[in-house]
């Protein structure tokens, strides 16, 4: 069914060499692409296919696998009432991907959150700095190899009230 999706058809026509995988699960279409042309692909999705709302940017840590990370873009076409998930593979050794904040301004803070919690850098981002953790925080809390109690911290021994 994903092969019949209008966005998948158009992406295959224009970016066939960039597409790694296409899946549909419970009516949701996910297109996995190589990270090198993610900005061009996102520009195309917005300008030509009407995905004018970026609802979220997040990441997934597949610790022990290659590539280790996937940057996930959830977008919506208001006019077509259609959702699309775009994933881009990011290697641990080169945890950098181009910023799409020039395509959707909402990506600005969303990419900062991914940087802060996963340590993935967004090249060309206008203000890439921590947004949730303090500036002196060590590490990236949503990585699967991050210590559960935080870096060099004792487990909490007080009352939870």
- Can you give the CATH number for the domain in which 72 is found? 3.30.460.80
Q: Is residue 16, in this structure, part of any structural domain at all? A: yes
How far apart are alpha carbons 22 and 33 in whole angstroms?
A: 9
How far apart are alpha carbons 108 and 138 in whole angstroms?
A: 22
Q: Is residue 140, in this structure, part of any structural domain at all? A: no
Per-residue confidence band for 4, with pLDDT thresholds at 50, 70 and 90: confident
In which domain, by residue range, is 55 found? 2-123
**Number of structural domains the chain divides into:** 1
pLDDT of residue 29: 96
The pTM assigned to this predicted structure is 0.90
Q: Is residue 66, in this structure, part of any structural domain at all? A: yes
User: Residue 76 above 50 pLDDT?
Assistant: yes
Please write the tens of the pLDDT for every residue from 95-114: 999 999 999 999 999 999 99
**Token digits of residue 29:** 């279409």
Residue 127, Cβ density class (10 Å: 0-12 exposed, 13-18 middle, ≥19 buried): exposed
Helices (H), the chain: 6-15, 38-49, 107-118
Q: Is residue 104, in this structure, part of any structural domain at all? A: yes
Q: Is residue 154, in this structure, part of any structural domain at all? A: no
Q: Is residue 153, in this structure, part of any structural domain at all? A: no
Q: Radius of gyration over alpha carbons of the chain, in Å?
A: 17
More confident residue, 124 or 27: 124
Please write the tens of the pLDDT for every residue from 49-71: 999 999 999 999 999 999 999 99
Q: Is residue 130, in this structure, part of any structural domain at all? A: no
* Mean pLDDT confidence for 113-139: 95
Q: Is residue 152, in this structure, part of any structural domain at all? A: no
User: Residue 160 above 50 pLDDT?
Assistant: no
Report cis status (omega within 30 of 0) of the bond before 113. Answer: no
* Mean pLDDT confidence for 151-161: 52
């Amino acid at each position: 069914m994903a092969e019949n999706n209008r966005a998948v058809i158009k992406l295959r026509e224009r970016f066939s060499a960039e597409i790694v995988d296409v899946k549909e699960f419970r009516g949701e279409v996910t297109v996995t692409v190589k990270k090198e042309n993610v900005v061009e692909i996102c520009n195309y999705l917005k300008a030509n296919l009407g995905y004018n709302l970026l609802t979220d940017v997040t990441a997934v840590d597949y610790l022990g696998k290659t590539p280790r990370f996937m940057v996930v873009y959830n977008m919506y076409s208001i006019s077509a009432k259609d959702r699309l998930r775009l994933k881009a593979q990011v290697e641990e050794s080169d945890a950098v991907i181009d910023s799409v904040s020039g395509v959707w301004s909402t990506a600005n803070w969303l990419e900062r959150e991914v940087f802060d919690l996963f340590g993935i850098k967004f090249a060309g981002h206008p203000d890439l700095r921590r947004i949730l953790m303090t500036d002196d925080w060590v590490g990236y809390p949503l990585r699967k190899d991050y210590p559960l109690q935080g870096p060099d911290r004792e487990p909490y021994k007080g009352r939870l009230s």
